[in-house]
Amino acid sequence: MRISHIFMAMFLAAIPSYGNAAEPITGYRDLKFGMNQDAVSSVLKSACKHYNKGFGHGVGCYEVGGIKRDLRVWFDPPASSKGLLKSIVIEFGIYDEKQHREIYAALEKKHDLVYIFDETDIAAFNTGQSNVLLVIFGEGHIVLKIARVSAEVVTFRYETTLTYVYEKEAKELVEKFGSSEEFDEEDF
């Protein structure tokens, strides 16, 4: 799959104006950054169809865009029972341009844009020099990502994820990338 320049032009045409008034991002829905693993497990056992604490993976959790989405949670430190929640990854599955635009549109209504991939990023992605395309919102706390994922030895698939990250990682993203059914902004 190649990301087209036409897609890029249409995507850039939707760039929001800066200055959206948004509440501070402290997590996603009932999941709050800094929660311990037991607290996260308690929330996700009630929110998800199935939650595996050992892998930090929930199946059929929060409804986003009319579909109950799978998610992953990451802790810091990662291999410790004392780890605290540092990121939440909502999985949207195989990349779909229409879905990506809808997610973008919903996010732009609620959060300031920090960074959006450009033609240089697309060229690197299309030639295999990069495996991700990023759009970053909300002072670096929200990352919409298209990723090339190895599905077999010689083939790839492209997946879309939406990641919510805690303060430290958000600041690092801002330093690296920028300055400060249908999807609905309430989903995010």
pLDDT tens string, the chain, 188 residues long: the values are 555 543 443 344 333 333 454 568 899 999 999 999 999 999 999 999 999 988 899 999 999 988 999 999 999 987 677 889 999 999 999 999 999 999 999 999 999 999 999 999 999 998 888 889 999 999 999 999 999 887 666 567 788 989 999 888 888 888 887 644 555 555 54
d(CA 144, CA 160): 7
From the list 152, 137, 82, 128, the residue with the least C-alpha distance to 105 is 137
pTM to 2 decimal places: 0.81
Looking at residue 150, what is its pLDDT?
A: 76
Looking at residue 8, what is its pLDDT?
A: 45
Looking at residue 5, what is its pLDDT?
A: 43
Looking at residue 3, what is its pLDDT?
A: 56
* Count of other CB atoms within 10 angstroms of residue 106: 19
Looking at residue 149, what is its pLDDT?
A: 83
Looking at residue 172, what is its pLDDT?
A: 86
Looking at residue 43, what is its pLDDT?
A: 96
CB of 25 closer than 8 Å to CB of 164: yes
